[in-house]
């Protein structure tokens, strides 16, 4: 359901892969995976690196992406996408997969990959909307109280499957599907979502073909517009103010006009990716499961200290006499009887 590109050839998006990145870029990539909570660097950040805009964009986005308000806004987008997928009509697919020869273990592996991108694509749509508005004067900064500013736990969820990608130039049925994906998304390459699901070519062919049946329906186009507007509205309500000055981009070696154009390419593609993955999730597990986050955060079990607005990366300031480890006297409180 991704925003449909024109029929003419689409320029291939330039990216900086981890194997090509310099040390500073690799360090930012590691931070991205920890803050976004995903096992691979999302395509958006690799494309920003290719435009030499990764450093200033990440510096601006990082304070916003690590707060609870951002995570919950992405959860709301994901739930909305699931409801829209149900409204579009989305039959269950598991029986078809069994007929295609997939066993229960393989279907569970497919489900694990769908869960990853059903989770992360909504966050990336939020990130793109925030960055685009940050380059146009700024976004967010709405007072939400300590709850909205609570820190999101860092790191990949322990129950998230590893992401394994197939080559982007396969043979047979998968090659045909990948050609369609490149043209349809307007990025000129195949996002990680589909390269991961390409490990099961028959499944991806079925799921992609089913999603494309709805592209020309007015209700589908309205669904994409609604997701985009909802993401813009949620970005405006974030408690963290995000601004990117053109001077900061130029200092990093980036062209502000090219960065804006790049963000618009993702802004057009991501509502469709969010909706496609919602369709895939509903096909596999039904509407109720698709509305829930695949990797929910148990906020009530997070220490109340997480409500502090002091940055997690700031050094802890000890008072005179405070123990520095548990082996020192006073490291543990004495029990009173």
Q: Which of 275, 284, 279, 277 is nearest to 106 (CA)?
A: 284
pLDDT tens for the chain, 337 residues long, are 555 554 456 799 999 999 999 999 999 999 999 999 999 999 999 999 999 999 999 999 999 999 999 999 999 999 999 999 999 988 888 889 989 999 999 999 999 999 999 999 999 999 999 999 999 999 999 988 899 999 999 999 999 999 999 999 998 899 999 999 999 999 999 999 999 999 999 999 999 999 999 899 999 999 999 999 999 999 999 999 999 999 999 999 999 999 999 999 999 999 999 999 999 999 999 999 999 999 999 886 665 444 444 444 445 455 555 555 545 444 444 444 4
> Would the CA dihedral through 220, 226, 229, 230 be positive or negative?
negative
Is residue 149 situated within a structural domain? Answer: yes
Q: In terms of residue numbers, what domain contains 208?
A: 23-297
Check: CB of residue 294 under 8 Å from CB of residue 97.
Answer: no
Report the number of distinct structural domains present in the chain. 1
Is residue 7 situated within a structural domain? Answer: no
Position of tokens 């020309």? 216
Instruction: Please state, in angstroms and rounded to a whole number, the distance separating the CA atoms of residues 175 and 141.
Output: 45
242: which strand partners?
Answer: 139
Check: CB of residue 85 under 8 Å from CB of residue 290.
Answer: yes
Helical axes 104-134 vs 218-236, angle rounded to 10°: 60
Q: How many CB atoms neighbour CB 256 within 10 A?
A: 17
Position of tokens 């989305």? 90
Is residue 28 situated within a structural domain? Answer: yes
Is residue 287 situated within a structural domain? Answer: yes
Contacts of 112 (CB under 8 A, 6+ apart): 160, 161
Instruction: Please state, in angstroms and rounded to a whole number, the distance separating the CA atoms of residues 149 and 312.
Output: 12
């Amino acid at each position: 359901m991704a925003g449909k590109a024109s029929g003419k050839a689409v320029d291939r998006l330039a990216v900086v892969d981890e194997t090509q990145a310099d040390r500073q870029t690799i360090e930012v990539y590691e931070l991205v995976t920890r803050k976004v909570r995903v096992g691979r660097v999302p395509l958006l950040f690799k494309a920003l690196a290719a435009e030499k805009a990764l450093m200033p964009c990440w510096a601006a986005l990082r304070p916003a992406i690590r707060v609870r308000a951002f995570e919950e806004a992405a959860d709301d987008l994901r739930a909305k996408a699931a409801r829209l997928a149900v409204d579009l009509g989305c039959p269950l697919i598991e029986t078809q997969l069994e007929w295609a020869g997939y066993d229960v273990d393989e279907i569970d592996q497919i489900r694990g990959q769908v869960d990853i991108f059903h989770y992360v694509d909504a966050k990336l749509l939020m990130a793109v909307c925030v960055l685009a508005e940050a380059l146009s004067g700024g976004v967010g900064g709405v007072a939400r109280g300590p709850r909205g500013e609570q820190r999101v736990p860092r790191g990949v969820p322990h129950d998230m499957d590893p992401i394994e990608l197939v080559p982007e130039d396969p043979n047979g049925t998968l090659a045909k599907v990948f050609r369609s994906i490149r043209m349809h998304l307007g990025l000129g390459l195949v996002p990680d979502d589909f390269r991961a699901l390409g490990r099961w070519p028959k499944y991806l062919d079925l799921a992609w073909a089913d999603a494309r049946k709805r592209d020309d329906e007015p209700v589908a186009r309205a669904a994409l517009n609604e997701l985009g507007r909802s993401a813009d509205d949620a970005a405006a309500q974030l408690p963290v103010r995000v601004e990117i000055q053109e001077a900061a981009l130029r200092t990093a070696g980036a062209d502000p006009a090219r960065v804006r154009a790049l963000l618009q390419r993702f802004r057009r593609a991501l509502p469709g990716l969010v909706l496609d993955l919602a369709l895939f999730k509903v096909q596999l597990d039904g509407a109720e499961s698709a509305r829930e986050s695949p990797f929910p955060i148990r906020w009530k079990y997070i220490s109340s200290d997480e409500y502090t607005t002091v940055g997690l990366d700031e050094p802890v300031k000890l008072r005179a006499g405070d123990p520095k480890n548990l082996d020192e006297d006073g490291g543990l409180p004495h029990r009173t009887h």
